[in-house]
Structure 1
Amino acid sequence: MKNLFIVVLFIIIPFAGLCQNLSPKYEFRGVWIATVENIDWPSKPGLPVTEQREEIIDILDMHQKNGMNAIILQIRPASDAFYQSDLEPWSKYLTGYPGRSPNPFYDPLEFWIDECHKHGMEFHAWLNPYRVAQNYEDPLAGNHIAFEHPNWILKYGERLYFDPGLPETRNFVTKVVTDIVSRYDVDAIHFDDYFYPYPLQEEFPDTASFKKYNRAWPDKYKADWRRENIDILIRQLSTSIKKTKPWVKFGISPFGVWRNKSDDPKGSDTRAGATNFDHLYANVIKWQEKGWIDYLLPQLYWQIGHSSVDFELLANWWKNHSYDREMYIGHGVYKIDPESNIKEWTMPDELPKQIETLRAIPEIGGSAFYSSKHFNRDLLGLQDSLQNRINNTPAIIPPMPWINNIIPSSPEKFRKSGKKIKWKVIETNEGKNKPVKFVIYMNEDGKDSNPQQLFSICLDEKFKFKRINKKRKKYEVRITALDRLNNESKPTNPVIIKL
């Protein structure tokens, strides 16, 4: 196996890996990093390259300390690129001017992916499919596709969008995604809630594309035609992603309400002003049920007990629509504020209670936090709670057996030398079953081992322990291997170490 320098993915406090109040063994723990308008990174357009890289490392160090295992980075906020592309121009949010490359040159996407993997985190590449510009008066790069195909572009409110009704725009978005998957070592492709835009007072101006490409839908069923446009895109993307790299996941993070029960008996008992199905034309649970996507991550950015869109009620509604795929939940950490006029967001226990609520629902496999920059401020002690209680042991992102359920071979030649352990991997493991991480389990000698009791996760084929007790004790240590889809090998036989 390719040598990697030792990286201990989680700093374990004394006895954290051996305590009784363990966090789950399998759990998605993600963070969104938005680049549009420089929300999270880089801190400003045109930031020097050295500072961009420093910010990346600082962000990853912070989230690693908080126990996170996935980064969701926005790499295409508005038909632009945070990576080297022949299809779309460099983003103005990166360099300060649309189409301008970093100077000195580097590929931010490649750097993010490498550093995420070194930190033991998955990298989910977040794209917005149809947004072209935040403001129609904003200059576009001279090589932007909008100049070559102006008929693809629609103005709605102050923004510009690709017309979702055109096969050409669907094919272009698919080409962009396929290019990323083929050239970069991403773990997942991720879309959020933006398909058709949130409605304004004016009608979305797609009359021409409906007339030309209505596929025999009558005028009164135009909403169904719009939903079918997005269905076609999602199915097309799913096919292309899996054909290019079968192990790359495809996830969607929709708005938190599919439909209100007042509009559909299958909907949630909520009173949301907008919904995925009726306003964004995104029938997200259909995509999950059809197996076109690998996970849903609905954005439940409301508090427990909200009168119209209650967090707990919605979590229990979404759990019934996992359809044997993964279901995660999004938290709105940006709402935590001691000065908030909503009492729950002034309380230190609101987010911990939300996480505890989700952990009690077997169909929900984890959560993600919007957004990264808020972890740099006072979140009423949330960071301490994550480090010392909520995420006090590392977690494995849940495997996806419908993609691949073959377990990798167990590590071999497992041995100790003082406080160090070493092992080897079988070189016949290739592709998606090749071990990429290793799980360390530890229990006191003579006591039963607990397969839920992770001590640490590491990248290299060696690990050095720190002393745990003033009075040394004997511990049994076992190792397993994880492939890139988190299928876990059988454990090695134990070695005994005094710590």
Structure 2
Amino acid sequence: MKILLILWAAVCPFVFCVAQPKYEFRAAWIATVDNIDWPSKGNYNPESQKAEYRKLLDMHVQNGMNAVIVQIRPATDAFYPSPYEPWSEWLTGKQGRAPSPYYDPLQFMIEEAHKRGLEFHAWCNPYRAELQIGKSSISPTHITKIHPEWFVAYGGKRYFDPGNKQAQEYVVHVIRDIVSRYDVDALHFDDYFYPYRIAGQEFPDDKTYAAYGGGMDRGDWRRSNVDSIIVKLHRGIRQENPHCKFGISPFGVWRNNDKDSLGSDTKAGQTNYDDLYADILLWLKEGYIDYVVPQLYWEHGHRAAPYEVLVDWWSRHSYGKHCYVGLGIYKAGTNARWRDRNIIPMQIRDARSYSTIQGQVYFSSKSFLKNPNGWNDSLQQHYYKYPALIPPMPWIDSIPPVPPVINAIVTEGNAANQQVRINAAYIDKEKRLRQFALYAFSSLEDTDISNRAPLKLIPTVSDSLDYVLALSLLPQSGKELYIGLTAVDINNVESEISILQKLERASEKAEWETVK
């Protein structure tokens, strides 16, 4: 059987494909609070919401993302049927009102992400309870109505008091419920533990400090409160689902070095440690979290928090856990530096220069809709042109799955549009499959995939593969070509490679022929 290999001019030389990162986390946040990203404000129709969400995911896939971080609990409410909290006002227009016609948005969002090969990270705000006191829609069943003594008002918003032990246990129950019932790949918290300071106002926790402070310095006591819920969440998530990751996206500065020699050479007005009472480094050192996404939303040379200083600092302070940098594409056009189309590409290149930085996350999804500074094009045509596997976490799982079994290869189409149909099966009964990874090699001596990016990642929701590959996507150099396939499990651990098919040709301009 002959195979004609047709290459489009737009396809890069194979050597360039090899140079791409094999492992890289590439994600975007999808914020639901106040309808920032999804669903659009006033859109309470389930079918229209679904269409919007699918369109968002398709855009992210086109841009080369391999994960989404979706806010499902923006203000002690729910984008899913919760036994603890009412439906979100940003989903249905009124807190406590269920979608009509009914559907489970979280189940839908997870399934749609997985169909596209995207990891789904469930983003929850830990302690925000009411976004605008007196203006937010609050259900009679909201926890602020049932246990008002757990909450404090600060800056026009209502928060759980992190020093209240009952409030902590309640939040842990909510998270356990999510992880136990839904196939989320990770549980994700943002930077709001104790809220950002407001000039002239002290966070009103005198009552709980008097009850539980035990003579500790108030700052140390507040940090211990945040540490304790992180430990409880870590244990709860692991108990409910050992494969579910736990990640935090903190403010970009842990501490300035004028306060602590371990801190960064920055002059941030507020920091995680001193103002938000979040000791991120402790959580990384102790293994309470699996990844960190510092929000590095500043440009190179920023007077208080330069990007280049902070990406270097975080690269040296992740303590063996994963670090993905948060990039602020929402700032496009806000000043002269953010009108420079090179700023995001430069930040990606800087992050990639550190072996201890494993990816990027973008805030937020709606910023991509207008292709700011042509950054969608940059991702599609250059930085994310080829797929990357999500980096595995060996402390969760390091055992590779069984390689796939190749059943058949069949050519289809005509000379102008030649295709190959690949049929394979995954027979490992011990490990769940996430996707197949497809590779191409110029010789059998060149089949080391330890540092080679796949040519194609093929998401699957079953243990079989029936996939049609356009031959125009394959490399053209040489007289031999080998197609290989691996299995990637739900923990992103990759199997050994199965060599699928050898192709030969008499000269580089001749037609390809399969070799049995």
Moved over 4 A (4+): 469-474
Distance 1:470 1:408 in 2: 26
Does the 8 Å CA contact 2:14/2:475 hold for their aligned counterparts? no
Shift of 1:422: 1.3
Question: Which residue number corresponds to residue 147 of structure 2?
Answer: 149
- Scaled by the length of structure 1, what TM-score is found? 0.93
Structure 2 gaps of 5+ residues are 1-7, 412-419, 504-511
Question: Which residue number corresponds to residue 249 of structure 1?
Answer: 245
For residue 446 of structure 2, give the secondary structure of its aligned residue in structure 1: coil
For residue 345 of structure 2, give the secondary structure of its aligned residue in structure 1: helix
Shift of 1:471: 12
Distance 1:186 1:18 in 2: 35
Shift of 1:444: 3.3
Closer, same or farther: CA 121–16 of 1 in aligned 2, 3 Å: farther
Shift of 1:146: 1.4
AA matched with 2:398: N
Question: Which residue number corresponds to residue 5 of structure 1?
Answer: none
AA matched with 1:455: L
Does the 8 Å CA contact 1:69/1:122 hold for their aligned counterparts? yes
Structure 1 gaps of 5+ residues are 1-11
Aligned with residue 397 of structure 1, among 390, 398, 402: 390
Matches within 5 A, 1:267-306: 267-306=263-302
Q: Percent identity?
A: 43
For residue 403 of structure 1, give the secondary structure of its aligned residue in structure 2: coil
For residue 60 of structure 1, give the secondary structure of its aligned residue in structure 2: helix
Question: Which residue number corresponds to residue 202 of structure 1?
Answer: 201
Cα RMSD between the aligned structures? 1.8
Question: Which residue number corresponds to residue 23 of structure 1?
Answer: 20
Shift of 1:258: 0.2
Question: Which residue number corresponds to residue 492 of structure 2?
Answer: 486
Distance 1:404 1:444 in 2: 32
Question: Which residue number corresponds to residue 173 of structure 2?
Answer: 175
Question: Which residue number corresponds to residue 126 of structure 1?
Answer: 123
Shift of 1:494: 3.8
Does the 8 Å CA contact 2:64/2:385 hold for their aligned counterparts? yes
AA matched with 1:496: K
Question: Which residue number corresponds to residue 381 of structure 1?
Answer: 374
Shift of 1:47: 2.6
Distance 1:63 1:276 in 2: 30
Does the 8 Å CA contact 2:434/2:490 hold for their aligned counterparts? yes
Question: Which residue number corresponds to residue 416 of structure 2?
Answer: none
Closer, same or farther: CA 448–55 of 1 in aligned 2, 3 Å: same
Shift of 1:13: 9.0
Matches within 5 A, 1:5-20: 15-16=11-12, 18-20=14-16
For residue 490 of structure 1, give the secondary structure of its aligned residue in structure 2: coil
| Greater radius of gyration (CA) | 2
Question: Which residue number corresponds to residue 46 of structure 2?
Answer: 49
Closer, same or farther: CA 491–223 of 1 in aligned 2, 3 Å: same
1:377-434: CA deviations, max 9, x gaps? 13111111101110111011100000111110011134312211111111422xxx22
Closer, same or farther: CA 446–289 of 1 in aligned 2, 3 Å: closer
AA matched with 2:331: K
Structure 1, 58-67 or 17-26: larger mean CA deviation: 17-26
- Scaled by the length of structure 2, what TM-score is found? 0.90
Aligned residues: 479
Structure 1, 154-163 or 471-480: larger mean CA deviation: 471-480
1:197-227: CA deviations, max 9, x gaps? 001121111011111122x233xx0110000
Distance 1:213 1:180 in 2: 29
Shift of 1:19: 4.3
For residue 440 of structure 2, give the secondary structure of its aligned residue in structure 1: strand
Is 1:346 matched up with 2:339?
yes
Distance 1:159 1:274 in 2: 19
Does the 8 Å CA contact 2:89/2:137 hold for their aligned counterparts? no
For residue 493 of structure 1, give the secondary structure of its aligned residue in structure 2: strand
Does the 8 Å CA contact 2:150/2:164 hold for their aligned counterparts? yes
Is 1:456 matched up with 2:456?
yes
AA matched with 1:318: W
Question: Which residue number corresponds to residue 420 of structure 1?
Answer: 421
Distance 1:399 1:13 in 2: 34
Distance 1:255 1:478 in 2: 42
Distance 2:303 2:454 in 1: 39
